[in-house]
Structure 1
Amino acid sequence: MGQEIINFAHRGASAYCPENTMAAFVKSIELGATGIETDVQVTKDGHLVLIHDETFDRTAGASGWVKDYLLEEIRNLDAGSGFHSDFRGERVPTLEELLQFVKECNIVVNLELKNSIVLYPGIEEKVIAAVRSFDLTAQTIISSFNHYSLALCKQLAPEIKTGILYMEGLYEPWNYARTIGADALHAEHHAVLPEFTADASKHGLVYHPFTVNDPEEMKRLIKAGVAGIITDYPDRLHEVLEAEGSSRK
């Protein structure tokens, strides 16, 4: 994945476009993102779709659970006009659509498995199979708040990096991460300090904190030694990285 700090666009350029849509993913690259973070769930008929919430109410104007909809039904939903009328008709994309885009752009993709509230049996195998089918194992990170799922992913695909999502207060997370074979710490940004990144590095782990939208906090984290930052504003992070000269080449 190179030595540069990865500019992960959180759900795409979600400050400017409806989150987790192809419009947001395309815009993020235009704004300087070098990675995309998104959320993966499973339809009733077993397809992988990109949406954060377990229901459609907030982002796609429909009631009910993702797990109870067929892909054809989901593709008829409007995932754009709730954000702004300019995006009317934007659809909930499939994972395969994003992976094709990632392959064309040669960027990093961080796939968060949304399997804490709804467990989605078999989501790990499905995601891994999709990533392998596009030959993107070296450019992919799988993350989740469900660490049992991450442990399974590492067993199924040791070649794909995994990142444990967590909030503040996890004691010596680099030691914990080793128990499930994780490669990265996807911590809430307040839980990242220079001494933590140094200790993690000694154990072969890197930090990719979320969700960082303030330029001053971005600067603090860069100085702290993070390997990537997840942000709604990839343009802000791009400007900070350019100004800081923070490439690790």
Structure 2
Amino acid sequence: MTLNFAHRGSLTEAPENTLPAFKKAIWHGAKALELDVQLSKDNHLIVCHDHKLSRFNKDAEGLIKDYTLEEIQQIDVGETFSEEFKGVTLPTLDQVLHICPADLLLNIEIKNIPVIYDGIEQILLKTLHEHDRLNNLVISSFDHVALKKVQEINSTIPLGMLFYYRILNPWDYASASGLNIQSIHPNQIYVDQTFVQSCKRNGYDIYPFTVSDQERYKELLEYGVDGVFSNNPEIFKS
């Protein structure tokens, strides 16, 4: 069965990684959701991809880590998308978990590069435990040290290993890492049939990112991917 992830929610219909974007993805019937977490200055889990806020609000200078939760909740990240979403702010992970059905698979990416958030792994797992969301979950990161820390805290959580650039035999790297890697998440640009077959042969699911073109999606399905991360509702709701 193919399992596609709504990448940062339905980001073509609402500001990415916000409650409206996640609600729209859920409304579409998405079976899986991808989101990113970082830490505020006062150690709250903020759902956002960029370390800087300037792409969403030109008046917001500095990094997420420079703002307290109270300050972040005063920053409008919706108006740059459209007037309809004026006043929308970045949510906390708590807020997102409140609206996610239990049967919705969550892929939570720890955004730990280039900013390294000391202790984010423990805060994340504590929050998930409080919401009884330690099941139906994948934690992923480009920072594989962060994945190691997650495993040291809770060895039962499936991990997704993200790769942006091509490396030699990432399936061998994943195996040699000693981590509980369930899936490999490569940049879709370099994924071909040999890549997919090698991942599968070594026991890894494969979910390329970010696939929004229908023809490319069909091609990847023919290669045998288990699903994709997508911005396209016609893909992520299928």
The 2-side partners of 1:22 and 1:98 are apart by 7
Aligned identity (percent) is 36
Distance change >3 Å, CA 236–CA 89, structure 1 → 2: same
The 2-side partners of 1:159 and 1:120 are apart by 22
Q: What residue ranges of structure 1 are gaps of 5+ in the alignment? A: 242-249
Does the Cα contact within 8 Å between 1:111 and 1:143 map onto a contact in 2?
A: yes
Does the Cα contact within 8 Å between 2:211 and 2:231 map onto a contact in 1?
A: yes
Which residue is 1:205 aligned to? Answer: 204
Which residue is 1:217 aligned to? Answer: 216
The 2-side partners of 1:224 and 1:10 are apart by 21
The 1-side partners of 2:102 and 2:75 are apart by 27
1:174 has 2:174 as partner: no
| Larger CA deviation: 167-176 vs 70-79 | 167-176
User: Shift of the alpha carbon at 1:191?
Assistant: 2.6
For residues 51-95 of structure 1, give each alpha carbon's deviation from its aligned partner in whole angstroms, at most 9, with x where no partner exists: 111111111441111101110111111111110000011110001
User: Shift of the alpha carbon at 1:179?
Assistant: 2.7
The 2-side partners of 1:224 and 1:138 are apart by 29
Does the Cα contact within 8 Å between 2:6 and 2:236 map onto a contact in 1?
A: no
Equivalent in 53, 57, 66 of residue 54 of structure 2: 57
The 1-side partners of 2:227 and 2:152 are apart by 25
Q: TM-score, normalised by structure 1?
A: 0.89
User: Shift of the alpha carbon at 1:203?
Assistant: 2.2
**Root-mean-square deviation (CA), in Å?**
1.5
Which residue is 1:80 aligned to? Answer: 78
The 1-side partners of 2:39 and 2:153 are apart by 19
Equivalent in 107, 117, 121 of residue 114 of structure 2: 117
User: Shift of the alpha carbon at 1:190?
Assistant: 2.1
Residue type of the partner of 1:63? E
Equivalent in 128, 132, 144 of residue 129 of structure 2: 132
Give the match's secondary structure for 1:80: coil
Does the Cα contact within 8 Å between 2:110 and 2:141 map onto a contact in 1?
A: yes
The 1-side partners of 2:142 and 2:175 are apart by 16
User: Shift of the alpha carbon at 1:233?
Assistant: 1.1
1:97 has 2:98 as partner: no
Which residue is 2:228 aligned to? Answer: 229
1:160 has 2:157 as partner: yes
Does the Cα contact within 8 Å between 1:143 and 1:150 map onto a contact in 2?
A: yes
Higher helix share: 1
For residues 189-235 of structure 1, give each alpha carbon's deviation from its aligned partner in whole angstroms, at most 9, with x where no partner exists: 12322232222223221111100110011111111111121011122
Runs of 4+ residues deviating >3 angstroms: none
For residues 123-166 of structure 1, give each alpha carbon's deviation from its aligned partner in whole angstroms, at most 9, with x where no partner exists: 11111111222222221111111111112212222111111111
Give the match's secondary structure for 1:149: helix
Does the Cα contact within 8 Å between 2:229 and 2:236 map onto a contact in 1?
A: no
Give the match's secondary structure for 2:135: helix
Q: TM-score, normalised by structure 2?
A: 0.93
The 2-side partners of 1:60 and 1:146 are apart by 27
The 2-side partners of 1:76 and 1:211 are apart by 30
Give the match's secondary structure for 1:5: coil
User: Shift of the alpha carbon at 1:105?
Assistant: 5.2
Residue type of the partner of 1:52? H
Residue type of the partner of 2:78? G
Distance change >3 Å, CA 221–CA 32, structure 1 → 2: farther
